[in-house]
Structure 1
Amino acid sequence: MGAHLQLDQLPLVDAARHPAVTTPSAGADRREDAGAPRAGTASRIVARIVQAVASRATLGDPVRVLGLTGPPGTGKTTIAAELTRALPRAGVPVAGQAPMDGFHMSNALLADRDLDDHKGAPDTFDVGGYVALLGRVRRADSVVLAPDYRRDLHEPVAASLPIETRGVVITEGNYLGLELPGWADVRGLIDLLVYIDTPFHTLASRLVERHVSFGRDRSDAAHWVRTVDAANVALVERTKQRADLVVTP
């Protein structure tokens, strides 16, 4: 892990300057408001990705599955949403989204398996289900209904996102380049993998704010970032070399 990952120096946000945000209402589940890059930064990243996808199409090597990866807090969900609008404007149809987070284990199952203290780590996902879904969307022989993750409920919800047979499927998540058993099968199902590279001090601030915005006490949020999130960041950063394109905000 690079020297920037100093857990004891994690930047805590001044609660007096940044009061807690109320939990979002239903319908806000696909937003990453507190953990998203600034609009101008996101636009630059989106433009680079659109260019890469369009170039592949021009060369006769169209992208069916586009993967966005990087540590938690890089704004993957925000960028994925922007791509659903930007790609069609560039003449590239979008089939739908298949987020990795839709394959979170339920909170009840996590508790039953004593995994709830590190929810979000690789062993808290149904990776076999994720791999199977990516295989189905690659075959493109029927509409597929993908699960989504509702941040307002803190639970996955089945059959939430329709994926059409024609166009680019956008999938995003932390572990798309991971080489652990089960996860190693994901990379081969992605045509273009983009890694969003962001310094840890930026991620830490975003993640604290994200956890607070979804109802966690600020001190608890900072502790979670120091422990669970920081370990995930370290793991994901080692997958950068497996990406086809690395973008830096």
Structure 2
Amino acid sequence: MSITELAAQERTAAGHFDFSRAEWAALRQSTPMTLTAEELTDLQGLNEALSVEEIEEVYLPLSRLLNLYVVATQGLHHVANDFLGREPVKSPYVIGIAGSVAVGKSTTARVLRALLSRWENHLQVALVTTDGFLYPNAVLRERNLMDRKGFPESYDVRRLIRFLDEITSGHSDVEVPKYSHLVYDVLPDVERISTPDILIVEGLNVLQSWTGRTEDAPSRFVADFLDFTIYLDADHDLIRQWYVDRFLTLRRTAFRDPASYFHKYSRLSLREARKTALDIWDRINSPNLAHNIAPTRSRAHLVLQKGPDHRVDRVRLRKL
């Protein structure tokens, strides 16, 4: 079944609310705009203009919905602690954001972190990308996986699950591995996170179940730790064009840094660069999207369907 057929099947499935952009925007109600124009510039991604209209009509209703869920979940935790007669354990509300390369996951994650941190009942919002949980390049080369970087088998899933288990158990000073897109590798140093109110986890495969060897399967999956999940979606041809556009922009900018892993691409002609980008997309990113990422869309609580210019056109919300 193709990605388009899969999406059509999901849209007709029962158990979801399907909103036009206008219908979704009306759900903002009186939620105030808390971001400045300068902040929007800092939050937007490469080749992805972020308008005030997009924030007001898409992300403010979403932040209102998430705030209601967070408050309700915090209330349930208090009830459970009272029933058990134990001291409260600060466990974050965990939001997962999934979708293809170049679809805009990082921008969505940054916007939600900024908006949610303005709500008075959860000021500490942490953001973690799963890039840091990739195996180091040395391990990927040893396992002949460099051309499958971003595929499920390229991640240290056990380390990611251990991190989620610790942070949701209320541990403080939890280690998070760092990743550099400049050197295209996991760094030796780590950052630390301590008891946030909300944790946003952004990555290609956060909604996936295990696809590796049965004997290596973990007892828990990443999705088991997620309270609310968002899938960023768009037509395959649009995502491919966004990927190529981003590659061409990086060729003129970040790739020019001699320290960049991709520095060699900065010397390509425009025609060569476009051909290279399409080749990488066809060999790596498109198969990963078709076989691993897109099939997880039906597991998401909310799907943001994008049209041209990264503009969200429709929203699909799973019924409780």
What is the deviation of 1:31? Answer: 8.1
Structure 1 gap ranges (5+): 6-29
1:200 is matched with: 236
| Alignment-derived partner of residue 97 in structure 2 | 68
Change in Cα spacing, 1:135 to 1:237, as seen in structure 2 (3 Å) is same
Q: State the partner residue of 1:246.
A: 303
For residues 124 and 171 of structure 1, what CA distance do their matches in structure 2 show?
17
Residue 172 (str. 1) matches residue 241 (str. 2): no
Shift of 1:139: 0.9
Instruction: String of CA shifts for 1:68-112, please: whole Å, max 9, x gaps.
Output: 111222211111112221112122323412211111122222111
Q: Which residue of 2 aligns with 1:209?
A: 245
Give the count of matched residue pairs.
Answer: 224
SS of alignment partner, residue 209 of structure 2: coil
**1:102-127 CA distance string (max 9 Å, x none):** 11122222111111122211111111
Q: Which amino acid aligns with 2:64?
A: Q
| Structure 1 contact 115–124 (Cα < 8 Å) conserved | yes
Q: Which TM-score applies when normalising by structure 1? A: 0.79
Determine whether 1:115 maps to 2:145.
yes
Structure with a larger share of its residues in helix: 2
What's the TM-score once normalised by structure 2's chain length?
0.63
Q: Aligned pair in 2 of structure 1 residues 48, 67: CA closer, same or farther (>3 Å)?
A: farther
Shift of 1:40: 5.0
Using the TM superposition, give the Cα deviation of residue 229 of structure 1 relative to its aligned residue in structure 2, in angstroms.
0.4
Determine which structure has more spread, i.e. the larger CA radius of gyration: 2
Q: What is the deviation of 1:226?
A: 1.2
Matched residues, percent identical? 23
Matching residue of 1:17: none
After superposition, the C-alpha distances for 1:123-146 in whole angstroms (9 at most, x for unaligned) are: 111111111111111012212131
Q: Which one-letter code corresponds to 2:300 in the other structure?
A: A
Distance 1:156 1:111 in 2: 13
Using CA pairs under 8 Å that are at least 6 residues apart, name the structure with larger relative contact order, 1 or 2. 1
Residue range with higher mean Cα deviation, 200-209 or 125-134: 200-209
Q: Tell me what 2:277 maps to.
A: 221
Uncovered stretches (5+) of structure 2, i.e. residues with no partner: 7-42, 78-91, 212-216, 256-264, 266-272, 306-311, 313-320
Give 1:82's aligned amino acid. Answer: V
- Note if contact 1:66-1:192 (Cα within 8 Å) is conserved in structure 2: yes
CA contact (8 A) 1:194 1:243 kept: yes
User: In structure 2, which of residues 55, 59, 65 is the aligned counterpart of residue 52 of structure 1?
Assistant: 65
Cα distance between partner residues in 2 of 1:226 and 1:48 = 36
- Distance in structure 2 (CA, Å) of the matches to 1:74 and 1:40: 19
Trace 1:57-206 onto structure 2 (pairs within 5 A).
Answer: 57-59=70-72, 60-61=75-76, 64-91=93-120, 92-181=122-211, 182=217, 185-206=221-242
The 3-state SS of whatever aligns with 1:51 is helix
Output the aligned Cα RMSD: 2.6
What secondary structure is seen at the aligned counterpart in 1 of 2:117?
Answer: helix
